[in-house]
Protein backbone atom coordinates (compact mmCIF):
# COMPACT_ATOMS: atom_id res chain seq x y z
CA UNK A 1 0.00 0.00 0.00
CA UNK A 2 2.62 2.56 1.09
CA UNK A 3 6.33 2.56 0.48
CA UNK A 4 8.54 5.19 2.00
CA UNK A 5 11.90 4.98 0.31
CA UNK A 6 15.03 6.68 1.68
CA UNK A 7 13.13 9.88 2.45
CA UNK A 8 15.32 12.93 3.10
CA UNK A 9 14.60 16.48 4.08
CA UNK A 10 16.76 19.39 5.24
CA UNK A 11 15.83 22.83 6.52
CA UNK A 12 18.46 25.51 6.08
CA UNK A 13 21.10 22.90 5.37
CA UNK A 14 20.29 20.99 8.55
CA UNK A 15 19.09 17.45 7.85
CA UNK A 16 15.82 16.72 9.66
CA UNK A 17 14.88 13.46 7.97
CA UNK A 18 17.86 11.31 7.05
CA UNK A 19 16.81 8.50 4.77
CA UNK A 20 13.67 7.17 6.43
CA UNK A 21 12.35 3.95 4.90
CA UNK A 22 9.41 1.74 5.79
CA UNK A 23 6.44 0.15 4.13
CA UNK A 24 2.87 -0.38 5.22
CA UNK A 25 0.66 -3.17 3.94
CA UNK A 26 -2.96 -2.76 2.92
CA UNK A 27 -5.27 -2.94 5.92
CA UNK A 28 -2.41 -2.62 8.38
CA UNK A 29 -2.26 -0.24 11.35
CA UNK A 30 1.24 1.13 11.48
CA UNK A 31 2.63 3.15 14.37
CA UNK A 32 5.22 5.88 14.11
CA UNK A 33 6.77 6.58 17.47
CA UNK A 34 9.20 9.25 18.43
CA UNK A 35 9.73 12.21 20.74
CA UNK A 36 8.97 15.78 19.72
CA UNK A 37 11.36 16.94 17.01
CA UNK A 38 12.25 13.40 15.96
CA UNK A 39 11.09 14.01 12.36
CA UNK A 40 7.70 12.27 12.50
CA UNK A 41 5.64 15.24 11.32
CA UNK A 42 8.15 16.15 8.62
CA UNK A 43 8.01 12.57 7.36
CA UNK A 44 4.20 12.65 7.39
CA UNK A 45 4.17 16.02 5.58
CA UNK A 46 6.31 14.55 2.81
CA UNK A 47 4.09 11.48 2.54
CA UNK A 48 1.06 13.78 2.13
CA UNK A 49 2.76 15.95 -0.46
CA UNK A 50 2.80 19.00 1.79
CA UNK A 51 6.56 19.28 1.83
CA UNK A 52 8.87 18.96 -1.12
CA UNK A 53 10.99 15.85 -0.89
CA UNK A 54 14.77 16.44 -0.99
CA UNK A 55 15.63 12.82 -1.57
CA UNK A 56 13.92 9.44 -1.89
CA UNK A 57 10.28 8.86 -2.79
CA UNK A 58 6.85 7.95 -1.44
CA UNK A 59 4.64 5.51 -3.29
CA UNK A 60 1.00 4.81 -2.61
CA UNK A 61 -0.29 1.79 -4.52
CA UNK A 62 2.69 2.23 -6.82
CA UNK A 63 1.97 5.91 -7.54
CA UNK A 64 4.82 8.29 -6.79
CA UNK A 65 4.00 11.43 -4.82
CA UNK A 66 6.65 13.21 -6.86
CA UNK A 67 5.24 12.24 -10.23
CA UNK A 68 1.53 12.06 -9.53
CA UNK A 69 0.81 14.06 -6.38
CA UNK A 70 -2.91 14.62 -7.05
CA UNK A 71 -3.63 10.91 -7.54
CA UNK A 72 -1.74 10.10 -4.33
CA UNK A 73 -3.53 12.83 -2.37
CA UNK A 74 -6.90 11.44 -3.43
CA UNK A 75 -6.04 8.15 -1.71
CA UNK A 76 -4.88 9.71 1.54
CA UNK A 77 -6.87 11.17 4.41
CA UNK A 78 -4.79 13.28 6.75
CA UNK A 79 -5.66 14.11 10.35
CA UNK A 80 -3.32 16.95 11.28
CA UNK A 81 -1.95 17.51 14.73
CA UNK A 82 -3.73 20.88 14.96
CA UNK A 83 -7.48 21.33 14.74
CA UNK A 84 -7.52 22.37 11.10
CA UNK A 85 -11.19 23.39 10.93
CA UNK A 86 -13.08 26.66 10.50
CA UNK A 87 -14.36 27.57 13.98
CA UNK A 88 -17.20 29.85 12.86
CA UNK A 89 -18.62 27.22 10.53
CA UNK A 90 -20.80 24.40 11.79
CA UNK A 91 -19.55 20.84 12.07
CA UNK A 92 -21.55 19.81 9.02
CA UNK A 93 -20.46 22.83 6.98
CA UNK A 94 -16.85 21.97 7.75
CA UNK A 95 -17.28 18.35 6.72
CA UNK A 96 -19.10 19.28 3.52
CA UNK A 97 -16.39 21.79 2.65
CA UNK A 98 -13.57 19.29 3.14
CA UNK A 99 -15.55 16.68 1.24
CA UNK A 100 -15.83 19.06 -1.69
CA UNK A 101 -12.10 19.67 -1.57
CA UNK A 102 -11.74 15.94 -2.25
CA UNK A 103 -14.10 16.16 -5.20
CA UNK A 104 -17.45 15.27 -3.62
CA UNK A 105 -20.46 17.06 -5.11
CA UNK A 106 -23.14 18.92 -3.15
CA UNK A 107 -25.72 16.26 -2.19
CA UNK A 108 -23.14 13.51 -2.03
CA UNK A 109 -21.02 15.62 0.34
CA UNK A 110 -24.01 16.40 2.58
CA UNK A 111 -25.08 12.77 2.78
CA UNK A 112 -21.53 11.67 3.53
CA UNK A 113 -21.20 14.38 6.19
CA UNK A 114 -24.27 12.96 7.96
CA UNK A 115 -22.73 9.48 7.96
CA UNK A 116 -19.37 10.75 9.21
CA UNK A 117 -21.07 12.73 11.98
CA UNK A 118 -22.77 9.53 13.07
CA UNK A 119 -19.45 7.67 12.93
CA UNK A 120 -17.73 10.17 15.22
CA UNK A 121 -20.79 10.34 17.49
CA UNK A 122 -21.68 13.98 16.92
CA UNK A 123 -24.87 13.86 14.85
CA UNK A 124 -26.70 15.88 17.48
CA UNK A 125 -24.15 18.70 17.16
CA UNK A 126 -24.16 18.79 13.34
CA UNK A 127 -25.42 22.36 13.12
CA UNK A 128 -23.41 23.81 15.97
CA UNK A 129 -20.38 25.94 15.28
CA UNK A 130 -17.01 24.32 15.89
CA UNK A 131 -16.03 27.14 18.25
CA UNK A 132 -18.69 25.91 20.68
CA UNK A 133 -17.21 22.38 20.84
CA UNK A 134 -14.96 20.91 23.51
CA UNK A 135 -11.41 19.94 22.59
CA UNK A 136 -12.39 16.30 22.25
CA UNK A 137 -15.34 17.05 19.98
CA UNK A 138 -13.15 19.21 17.77
CA UNK A 139 -10.66 16.36 17.49
CA UNK A 140 -13.45 14.02 16.42
CA UNK A 141 -14.59 16.41 13.67
CA UNK A 142 -10.93 16.86 12.73
CA UNK A 143 -10.81 13.12 12.12
CA UNK A 144 -14.20 13.14 10.42
CA UNK A 145 -12.98 15.67 7.86
CA UNK A 146 -10.28 13.20 6.81
CA UNK A 147 -12.83 10.43 6.35
CA UNK A 148 -15.19 12.29 4.02
CA UNK A 149 -13.74 10.80 0.83
CA UNK A 150 -13.26 7.25 2.19
CA UNK A 151 -9.48 7.30 1.93
CA UNK A 152 -7.54 4.10 1.41
CA UNK A 153 -4.81 5.36 3.73
CA UNK A 154 -5.58 7.34 6.89
CA UNK A 155 -2.65 9.21 8.36
CA UNK A 156 -3.13 10.50 11.89
CA UNK A 157 -0.59 12.88 13.35
CA UNK A 158 -0.96 12.84 17.14
CA UNK A 159 -4.75 13.00 17.00
CA UNK A 160 -5.38 12.80 20.74
CA UNK A 161 -3.21 15.63 22.02
CA UNK A 162 -4.82 17.54 24.87
CA UNK A 163 -8.19 15.86 25.14
CA UNK A 164 -10.24 14.22 27.86
CA UNK A 165 -10.04 10.41 28.41
CA UNK A 166 -13.59 9.86 27.15
CA UNK A 167 -12.93 11.52 23.78
CA UNK A 168 -9.57 9.79 23.59
CA UNK A 169 -11.17 6.39 24.04
CA UNK A 170 -13.82 7.27 21.46
CA UNK A 171 -11.15 8.24 18.96
CA UNK A 172 -9.10 5.11 19.58
CA UNK A 173 -12.18 2.91 19.23
CA UNK A 174 -13.16 4.70 16.01
CA UNK A 175 -9.71 4.23 14.51
CA UNK A 176 -9.64 0.59 15.58
CA UNK A 177 -13.03 0.04 13.93
CA UNK A 178 -11.95 1.75 10.70
CA UNK A 179 -8.85 -0.40 10.59
CA UNK A 180 -10.87 -3.54 11.20
CA UNK A 181 -13.09 -2.49 8.30
CA UNK A 182 -10.02 -2.55 6.04
CA UNK A 183 -8.67 1.00 6.17
CA UNK A 184 -4.89 1.28 6.29
CA UNK A 185 -3.79 3.51 9.16
CA UNK A 186 -0.57 5.27 10.04
CA UNK A 187 -0.72 6.53 13.58
CA UNK A 188 1.89 8.79 15.09
CA UNK A 189 1.98 9.53 18.76
CA UNK A 190 4.21 9.80 21.74
CA UNK A 191 1.55 8.04 23.81
CA UNK A 192 2.99 4.53 23.92
CA UNK A 193 -0.21 2.85 25.05
CA UNK A 194 -2.18 4.24 22.07
CA UNK A 195 0.31 2.87 19.58
CA UNK A 196 0.42 -0.45 21.43
CA UNK A 197 -3.39 -0.61 21.41
CA UNK A 198 -3.83 0.19 17.72
CA UNK A 199 -0.78 -0.87 15.78
CA UNK A 200 0.59 -4.19 14.66
CA UNK A 201 3.90 -2.86 13.48
CA UNK A 202 5.83 0.09 14.78
CA UNK A 203 8.70 2.25 13.59
CA UNK A 204 10.61 4.26 16.17
CA UNK A 205 12.06 7.48 14.79
CA UNK A 206 14.68 9.62 16.45
CA UNK A 207 16.90 12.36 15.05
CA UNK A 208 15.33 11.85 11.61
CA UNK A 209 16.17 8.14 11.41
CA UNK A 210 14.25 4.91 11.93
CA UNK A 211 16.07 3.33 14.87
CA UNK A 212 13.78 0.33 15.31
CA UNK A 213 11.08 -1.30 13.20
CA UNK A 214 8.96 -4.38 13.74
CA UNK A 215 6.04 -5.85 15.63
CA UNK A 216 5.69 -5.04 19.30
CA UNK A 217 6.97 -8.51 20.27
CA UNK A 218 9.93 -8.26 17.91
CA UNK A 219 10.87 -4.89 19.32
CA UNK A 220 10.55 -5.97 22.94
CA UNK A 221 12.64 -9.03 22.28
CA UNK A 222 15.41 -6.69 21.21
CA UNK A 223 15.30 -5.15 24.64
CA UNK A 224 18.20 -6.41 26.76
CA UNK A 225 16.94 -6.62 30.33
CA UNK A 226 13.47 -5.78 29.14
CA UNK A 227 11.67 -7.10 32.22
CA UNK A 228 11.97 -4.98 35.33
CA UNK A 229 11.62 -6.42 38.82
CA UNK A 230 10.87 -3.68 41.31
CA UNK A 231 11.90 -4.46 44.88
CA UNK A 232 11.20 -2.72 48.17
CA UNK A 233 13.77 -3.92 50.67
CA UNK A 234 14.99 -3.27 54.19
CA UNK A 235 17.80 -2.53 54.41
CA UNK A 236 19.69 -1.92 51.14
CA UNK A 237 23.06 -3.60 51.56
CA UNK A 238 25.94 -2.87 49.20
CA UNK A 239 27.04 -6.48 49.08
CA UNK A 240 23.47 -7.59 48.22
CA UNK A 241 23.46 -5.13 45.27
CA UNK A 242 26.84 -6.35 44.06
CA UNK A 243 25.71 -10.00 44.16
CA UNK A 244 22.54 -9.10 42.23
CA UNK A 245 24.62 -7.55 39.46
CA UNK A 246 26.67 -10.72 39.05
CA UNK A 247 23.62 -12.94 38.49
CA UNK A 248 23.36 -14.37 34.97
CA UNK A 249 19.78 -13.27 34.28
CA UNK A 250 20.35 -9.74 35.52
CA UNK A 251 21.32 -7.02 33.02
CA UNK A 252 21.40 -4.05 35.37
CA UNK A 253 20.48 -2.89 38.87
CA UNK A 254 19.33 0.60 39.71
CA UNK A 255 18.69 2.07 43.17
CA UNK A 256 15.59 4.22 42.67
CA UNK A 257 14.97 5.37 46.25
CA UNK A 258 16.57 4.59 49.62
CA UNK A 259 14.52 1.41 49.97
CA UNK A 260 13.63 0.70 46.31
CA UNK A 261 15.61 -1.16 43.67
CA UNK A 262 14.87 -1.87 40.00
CA UNK A 263 16.44 -5.03 38.63
CA UNK A 264 16.52 -5.31 34.83
CA UNK A 265 16.43 -9.00 33.89
CA UNK A 266 16.50 -10.97 30.65
CA UNK A 267 14.46 -13.85 32.06
CA UNK A 268 12.08 -13.03 34.91
CA UNK A 269 11.31 -16.64 35.90
CA UNK A 270 14.96 -17.56 36.47
CA UNK A 271 15.81 -14.30 38.18
CA UNK A 272 12.92 -14.30 40.68
CA UNK A 273 13.91 -17.40 42.65
CA UNK A 274 17.57 -16.31 42.72
CA UNK A 275 16.62 -12.85 44.04
CA UNK A 276 14.51 -14.38 46.82
CA UNK A 277 17.33 -16.77 47.75
CA UNK A 278 19.87 -13.97 47.75
CA UNK A 279 17.76 -11.80 50.02
CA UNK A 280 17.52 -14.63 52.55
CA UNK A 281 21.22 -15.22 52.35
CA UNK A 282 22.02 -11.52 53.03
CA UNK A 283 19.24 -11.08 55.58
CA UNK A 284 17.56 -8.44 53.50
CA UNK A 285 13.83 -8.24 54.11
CA UNK A 286 11.69 -8.18 50.90
CA UNK A 287 8.83 -5.80 51.66
CA UNK A 288 7.31 -5.91 48.13
CA UNK A 289 8.12 -7.35 44.72
CA UNK A 290 6.63 -6.32 41.39
CA UNK A 291 7.39 -7.66 37.88
CA UNK A 292 7.02 -5.23 34.93
CA UNK A 293 6.88 -6.81 31.48
CA UNK A 294 9.03 -5.26 28.72
CA UNK A 295 7.43 -2.34 26.86
CA UNK A 296 8.19 0.13 24.10
CA UNK A 297 8.86 2.87 26.59
CA UNK A 298 11.73 0.84 27.99
CA UNK A 299 12.94 0.02 24.52
CA UNK A 300 12.83 3.67 23.52
CA UNK A 301 14.70 4.59 26.67
CA UNK A 302 17.31 2.01 25.95
CA UNK A 303 17.70 3.02 22.31
CA UNK A 304 17.81 6.77 22.76
CA UNK A 305 18.61 7.35 26.39
CA UNK A 306 15.53 9.59 26.53
CA UNK A 307 11.90 9.21 27.47
CA UNK A 308 9.35 9.45 24.65
CA UNK A 309 7.78 12.51 26.23
CA UNK A 310 11.06 14.41 26.59
Q: Which of 8, 18, 66, 74 binds other proteins (CB under 8 A)?
A: 74
CB closer to other proteins out of 50 and 276: 50
Q: Is 261 in contact with 254 (CB distance < 8 Å)?
A: yes
DSSP, residue by residue, 207-254 = TTEEEEEEEHHHHHHT-TT-EEEEEEEES--HHHHHHHHHSTTEEEEE
For residues 28 and 239, what is the distance between their CA atoms, to the nearest angstrom? 50
Residues numbered 226 to 245 that lie near other proteins (CB under 8 A) are: none
CB closer to other proteins out of 36 and 215: 36
Question: Nearest approach, Cβ of 111 to other proteins (angstroms)?
Answer: 17
Q: Which of 4, 16, 33, 48 binds other proteins (CB under 8 A)?
A: 48
Neighbours of 89 (CB within 10 A): 15
Residues 6+ apart with CB under 8 A from 226: 220, 264, 266, 293, 294, 295, 298, 299
Q: Is 121 in contact with 170 (CB distance < 8 Å)?
A: yes
Residue 95 binding other proteins, by CB under 8 A: no
Residue 103 binding other proteins, by CB under 8 A: yes
Residue 136 binding other proteins, by CB under 8 A: no
Q: Taking contact as CB under 8 A, which single stretch among the options 12-20, 73-81, 194-202, 247-255 is the one that binds other proteins?
A: 73-81
Residue 70 binding other proteins, by CB under 8 A: yes
* Binding residues for other proteins, total number by CB under 8 A: 26
Residue 71 binding other proteins, by CB under 8 A: yes
Q: Which of 37, 61, 67, 86 binds other proteins (CB under 8 A)?
A: 86
Helix (H) or strand (E) holding 263: strand 260-265
Q: Kindly compute the dihedral angle of the four CA atoms of residues 13, 16, 22, 28, in this order, to the nearest 10 degrees.
A: -140
Residue 80 binding other proteins, by CB under 8 A: yes
Residue 84 binding other proteins, by CB under 8 A: yes
Q: Which of 18, 66, 100, 222 binds other proteins (CB under 8 A)?
A: 100
Question: Nearest approach, Cβ of 76 to other proteins (angstroms)?
Answer: 8
Residue 36 binding other proteins, by CB under 8 A: no
For residues 74 and 76, what is the distance between their CA atoms, to the nearest angstrom? 6
Q: How far lies 83's CA from each of 80, 103, 137, 233, in Å?
A: 7, 22, 10, 49
Q: Taking contact as CB under 8 A, which single stretch among the options 25-33, 43-51, 164-172, 175-183 is the one that binds other proteins?
A: 43-51
Neighbours of 214 (CB within 10 A): 14
Question: Nearest approach, Cβ of 124 to other proteins (angstroms)?
Answer: 22
Residues 6+ apart with CB under 8 A from 96: 109, 110, 113
Q: Which of 67, 101, 134, 287 binds other proteins (CB under 8 A)?
A: 101
Q: Cis (ω within 30 of 0) for the bond into 235?
A: yes
Residue 12 binding other proteins, by CB under 8 A: no
| Strand, helix or coil for residue 22 | strand
Q: Give the footprint of other proteins on this chain (CB under 8 A).
A: 45, 48-50, 70-71, 73-74, 76, 78, 80-86, 88-89, 97-98, 100-103, 145
Amino acid sequence: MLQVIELKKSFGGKPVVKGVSFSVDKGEAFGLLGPNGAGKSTTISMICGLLKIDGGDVRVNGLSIKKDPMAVKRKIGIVPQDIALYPTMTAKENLVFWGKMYGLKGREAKAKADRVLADVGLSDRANDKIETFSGGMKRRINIGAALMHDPELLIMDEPTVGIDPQSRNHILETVKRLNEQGMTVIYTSHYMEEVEFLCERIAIIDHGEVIALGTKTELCNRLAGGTVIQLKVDPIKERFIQRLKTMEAVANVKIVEEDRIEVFVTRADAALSQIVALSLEHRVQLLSLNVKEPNLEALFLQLTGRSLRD
